[in-house]
Amino acid sequence: MTKRIMVVEDNDLNRKLFCDLLRAKGFEVEPVADGREAIEKTRDFSPNLVVMDIQLPNVSGLSLIEQLKGDAGLRQIPVLAVTAYAAKGDEERIREAGAEGYLAKPVSIAPFLSAVTSLI
């Protein structure tokens, strides 16, 4: 059965890159540009993994991770946080919110695919 990955990323180029890479590896992908739609789309799509940008307009990726992990029906879905925030303490704060994986932007292809594979 094909694994499903939801990509929550407001940057058009990054979202397209992540989705294209994942589709090329055989994953079914659901792109989400607006973080305000992320929780509902997660329920509808039932992904095996959520790739979550942390710096989103209108809503924080950290807040979305906390909402996912606080929802009994969604908390088992692993989250890979991908962020331009790479200051001291950021990874710890993101993992404390519930993310199982963390990558700093700019993201290289091999580490991205490796992180995805390890979480699925």
pLDDT tens, per residue, the chain with 120 residues: 799 999 999 999 999 999 999 999 999 999 999 999 999 999 999 999 999 999 998 899 999 999 999 999 999 999 999 988 667 788 889 999 999 999 988 889 999 999 999 999
Domain 4-119 -> CATH class:
alpha beta
pTM of the predicted model, to two decimals? 0.94
Distance CA 32, CA 30 (A): 7
Which residue from 75, 35, 77, 26 is spatially nearest to 54, judged by alpha carbons?
35
Distance CA 95, CA 79 (A): 10
Residues 6+ apart with CB under 8 A from 71: 39
The CA–CA distances, whole Å, from 50 to 78, 87, 88, 89 equal: 6, 23, 24, 22
Is the Cβ–Cβ distance between 61 and 39 less than 8 Å? no
Rounded (10°) angle between helices 61-70 and 90-97: 30
Distance CA 103, CA 17 (A): 15
Residue spans per domain, the chain: 4-119
